[in-house]
Amino acid sequence: MAIIALTGGIASGKSTVARRLAELGAYVISADELVRQSQRAGSPTLAAIEKRFGLGVIGSDGELDRAALGRIVFDDAIARADLEAIVHPAIGSEFASQVEAIQGSDPRAIIIYDIPLLVETNRVNDFDGVIVLTCDPQIRHDRLVLLRGMSSEEAQSRIDAQASERDRISVADWTVDSSESIDATIAQTDVIWAELTTAYRV
């Protein structure tokens, strides 16, 4: 079994690569999905978030108001650290459970962990390898504006808040440049998958 991290900046094309790897036979676990699961209504994690940040981050349906919470933690390092201290243990526990289940059913599994903040959380050494999505920053900016409806300023601030392209590339075992077409991105992904299966499914 191998656990490979998949990372890249916002709007770099991680979802495209993750979907392709799943099609090819990888087991894909999404850090963002683990976060959503851990914060569902009625969960201990959501209760802890409410206790720390107040009722203003809880919607009328009892679910987390992610936009409201985001406004609190985005520019406040202390608040962000408090949130991470609440959320990360729950994510780690669920990740370990999923890995154990996969390993039990398929000892030769190649698990891809889609983790946007790999570099920021200093988790590089937790994995058997790292795939980094690279993309021209202007293209990422334009994707955020055109596809996600952000203002130009918001898009740039989201990009600037993450690790630099140089820092991500410095930890990469494989890179995929998603600046061009989806077909080109998939072709690069296929090459990496062939290398992974050769290395870990012998």
Partners of 131 in the β-ladder: 6, 174
In what side-by-side order are the strands of the sheet with 174-177?
27-30, 110-114, 2-8, 129-134, 174-177
CATH number of the domain bearing residue 116? 3.40.50.300
Angstrom distance (rounded) from CA 128 to CA 193: 14
Angstrom distance (rounded) from CA 160 to CA 65: 23
Per the CB < 8 A criterion, the answer to whether 86 and 50 are in contact is: no
Q: How confident is the model at residue 77 (pLDDT cuts 50, 70, 90)?
A: confident
Per the CB < 8 A criterion, the answer to whether 58 and 143 are in contact is: no
* pLDDT at 171 exceeding the cut of 70: yes
**Mean pLDDT along residues 20-40:** 95
Helices (H), 11-136: 14-24, 31-38, 44-53, 66-73, 77-105
Per the CB < 8 A criterion, the answer to whether 142 and 154 are in contact is: no
* pLDDT at 44 exceeding the cut of 70: yes
Q: Quick one: what percent of the chain has pLDDT higher than 70?
A: 100
- Give the pLDDT confidence of 105-140 residue by residue, as tens digits: 999 999 999 999 899 889 999 999 999 999 999 999
Domains: count for the chain: 1
Tokens of 99: 């890995």
pTM score? 0.89
SS3 assignment, position 38: helix
Q: How confident is the model at residue 27 (pLDDT cuts 50, 70, 90)?
A: very high
Cα end-to-end distance, the chain, whole Å: 11
**Mean pLDDT along residues 37-60:** 94
User: Across the chain, what does the average pLDDT equal?
Assistant: 94
Full DSSP string of 133-147? EE--HHHHHHHHHHH
Angstrom distance (rounded) from CA 35 to CA 17: 20
* pLDDT at 202 exceeding the cut of 70: no
Range of the domain at 127: 2-200
